[in-house]
Structure 1
Amino acid sequence: MAKGFTFKQFHVDDFGCGMPVSTDGVLLGAWAALPAEGEIVDIGTGSGLLALMAAQRTAKSRITAVDIDPRAIRAAASNFANSPWQARLCCITQDVTDWGAQQPGGRFSAIVCNPPYFNHGQQASCSSRATARHTDTLSHNCLLTTIRHLLDGNGQASLILPEYEGRLLLREAKAHQLFCHRLCEIRSTERKPVSRLLIALSKAPLPEPGQPQTEHLSIHHQGRYSAAFCALTRDFYLKL
């Protein structure tokens, strides 16, 4: 039996890198605004899930996957090679802040990122998982600086964060002149509090009255996946 996670059009094996396939990643990959053609960067790609989802969703876009962890890049490269979109996917092993500073400003039409989010507390014993989950190697300030530099004037950077960390990032984004155009509040069920935020940032100021397009999504309803969750993710999950 194949290790990892099999989707409708591709397979992801994490090969022991920091972050395996997660619901967070699938939600982000399905929700993010992506151009049919252009350049997309997946910041902190891990095993390559978001890059593969972007390749499935777009016709001609080229996707660059960047990660500081060589083990993650080896996993992503293998997953890309076994996908239908190998020609449009490439991997880079480098700190994204250093790599981003070397790129022309405004190079990318879209950015996707499932970023580190723990600012404090006990770190995972596995160093690759700690890197993926804690902001020690990629602070949100550095991430926003990189997004601001890489994103073109009309593109969007899409991220997913826990609710508390997401609100902090939204406040910090204003100092970087990045504006939240779309916001989706995620709950596990409609009766639970918001647990995750899907956030879309752009350099373009918001039109009047200046409020982001706000959406709400519950993952489960009456013991099953909700209709909204199924509609968003059915192009990917095998059993939907």
Structure 2
Amino acid sequence: MAKGFTFKQFHVNDHGCGMPVSTDGVMLGAWAALPVSGQILDIGTGSGLLALIVAQRTAEHGNAITAIEVDDGAAQAARRNFADSLWAPRIGLAHQTIQGWASQQPAGSVAAIVCNPPYFNHGEQADCQARATARHTDTLPHHELLAAIRHLLSPSGVASLILPVYEGEQLIESARAHQLFCQRVCEVKTTERKAPGRLLIALTAGPSAQLNEQLVIHQNGEYSQAFVALTKAFYLKM
């Protein structure tokens, strides 16, 4: 049996990646606003999960997708996963930092950005260097991430991210200093009675009214209708 995680239209082998395939990544990939034309960027692709979800969602339009990954093992895994997919010709991998890649690109050249960023700002890091890179902001401080997003994002573009609630609220506040504004935010709760654990965030380069949403993953011991509707194009058993 193939290692990793099999979705309806692709397989992800996450061996060697700091962070394995996660519900966070699937939710973000399914929720993110995507354009009908223009380049799409996946910052910190890891195993390539987000880039592959985006590729599936844009199959009709054929957008070019660039996936950025700094970690050696994750970049190798993503490259294999892209090559084995239906959309290999239009997914490119840049094995470098987003800071370095962004500095080589024209301003406003990206139509949409997706990113499941590291969020630990302090505390003990994971023993595995790949996991530490994926989880900790040492290699990608949020102010540098926001600066790269602001430089790259087109005037009509949307950058979609997922973070824990506190870190997400901090990022939304910090984004304003970079002239990025929260267009849409979704509180994600594992059950109705629990407090939100994640924020799905959509940033734009121009001010707009903020749309507030909520997603509950489990209801009555099953996946909620809203979660199934969001993710059924990807999960095998939905």
- Determine if the TM-score, normalized by the shorter chain, exceeds 0.5: yes
CA shift digits 1:128-149 (9 cap, x unpaired)? 0100000000000000000000
Which whole-Å CA distance do the structure 2 matches of 1:37 and 1:130 have between them?
35
Q: Counterparts of 1:25-44 in structure 2 under 5 Å?
A: 25-44=25-44
Task: Give distance in 1, aligned partners of 2:78 and 2:38.
Answer: 21
1:227 is aligned to 225
Structure 1 residues 183-227: Cα deviation after superposition (integer angstroms, max 9, x where no partner): 000000010001000000000211xxx4x1111001100111110
Q: Where does 1:40-189 land on structure 2 (aligned, <5 Å)?
A: 40-58=40-58, 59=60, 60-189=62-191
Correspondence for 2:213: 215
Percent sequence identity over aligned pairs: 63
Q: Distance in 1 between matches of 2:166 and 2:20?
A: 23
Q: CA deviation at 1:92?
A: 0.8
Mapped to 1, the partners of 2:73 and 2:107 lie a distance apart of 28
Q: Whole-Å Cα distance in 2 between the matches of residues 93 and 15 of structure 1?
A: 17
| Equivalent position amino acid for 1:49 in 2 | L
- The reply on whether 1:7 has 2:1 as its aligned counterpart is no
Q: CA RMSD in A?
A: 0.7
Residue 68 of structure 1 aligns to a residue whose secondary structure is coil
Match in the other structure for 2:206:
204
Partner amino acid, structure 2, of 1:239: K
Distance 1:138 1:125 in 2: 18
SS in 1 for 2:158: strand
2:234 to 221, 233, 236: 236
- 1:1-41, Cα deviation, whole Å (9 max, x unpaired): 11000000000001221111000000000000001221001
Q: Which runs of 5+ in 2 are unaligned?
A: none
Q: Secondary structure at the match of 1:9?
A: coil
1:133 partner amino acid: R
Counterpart position of 1:18: 18
Distance 1:171 1:130 in 2: 25
What is the alpha-carbon distance in structure 1 between the residues aligned to residue 35 and residue 53 of structure 2? 13
Please give the secondary structure, in 1, of the residue aligned with 2:124.
coil
Secondary structure of 1:109's match? strand
User: What is the identity, as a one-letter code, of the residue corresponding to 1:230?
Assistant: V
Secondary structure of 1:237's partner? coil
Instruction: Give the residue type in structure 2 aligned to 1:33.
Output: A
Q: Show structure 1 runs of 4+ deviating over 2 A.
A: none
1:127 Cα deviation from its structure 2 partner: 0.3
In the other structure, the counterpart of 1:190 is 192
Structure 1 unaligned regions, length at least 5: none
